[in-house]
């Protein structure tokens, strides 16, 4: 069951946040952050079960946010899904190499596929969490 799972969305675009909210709110608790710094502060205080992270953020970008998360032993194995509006050849490989677990292209048009991706990484997380301090 997905009850009680918390998802953090880090996205500076309000319309994109609203879209994600509309897609996931029936299934998950959603915590929203508009900047990378806000997200790091909030996530450290109350780690979610999964993070949806916009790559293009003002100031600290998504890659840097990810780097901070992966450098924190308590958050290093948190599932983090990159979101980007500009799909280019090789993006997926680049984002996976950067340490993201998955990569989705915005705008999200296939809601079921998006939800399946989230469900997949939520299901995978506990197994990896064997080494995670909780
Ligand atoms: Mn953005």
Q: Cα dihedral sign for 123, 22, 38, 93?
A: positive
Residue 11 C-alpha to ligand 1 middle, in angstroms? 6
What was the pLDDT predicted at 86? 77
Residue 12 C-alpha to ligand 1 middle, in angstroms? 5
Whole-angstrom distance, CA of residue 20 vs CA of residue 127: 26
Residue 29 C-alpha to ligand 1 middle, in angstroms? 21
Residue 109, helix vs strand vs coil: coil
What was the pLDDT predicted at 127? 54
Residue 74, helix vs strand vs coil: coil
Does residue 132 carry a pLDDT above 50?
no
- Tokens linked to 53: 């992270």
Residue 131 C-alpha to ligand 1 middle, in angstroms? 32
Residue-wise pLDDT tens digits, 12-28: 999 999 999 999 999 99
**Nearest to 77, CA basis, from 98, 99, 97, 55:** 99
What was the pLDDT predicted at 85? 87
Averaged confidence pLDDT in the chain = 91
| 93 phi/psi in degrees, rounded to 5 | -60, -40
Residue 24 C-alpha to ligand 1 middle, in angstroms? 19
pTM comes to: 0.91
Whole-angstrom distance, CA of residue 11 vs CA of residue 52: 8
Residue-wise pLDDT tens digits, 84-95: 987 788 888 999
């Amino acid at each position: 069951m997905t009850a009680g799972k918390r998802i953090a969305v880090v996205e500076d675009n309000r319309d994109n946040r609203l879209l994600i909210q509309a897609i996931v709110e029936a299934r998950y608790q959603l915590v929203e952050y508009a900047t990378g710094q806000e997200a790091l502060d909030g996530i450290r205080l109350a780690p979610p079960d999964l993070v949806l992270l916009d790559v293009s953020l003002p100031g600290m970008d998504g890659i840097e946010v990810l780097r901070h998360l992966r450098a924190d032993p308590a958050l290093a194995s948190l599932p983090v899904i990159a979101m980007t509006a500009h799909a280019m050849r090789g993006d997926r490989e680049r984002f996976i190499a950067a340490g993201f677990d998955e990569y989705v292209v915005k705008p999200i048009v296939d809601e079921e596929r998006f939800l399946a991706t989230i469900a997949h990484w939520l299901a995978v997380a506990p197994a990896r969490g064997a080494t995670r301090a909780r």
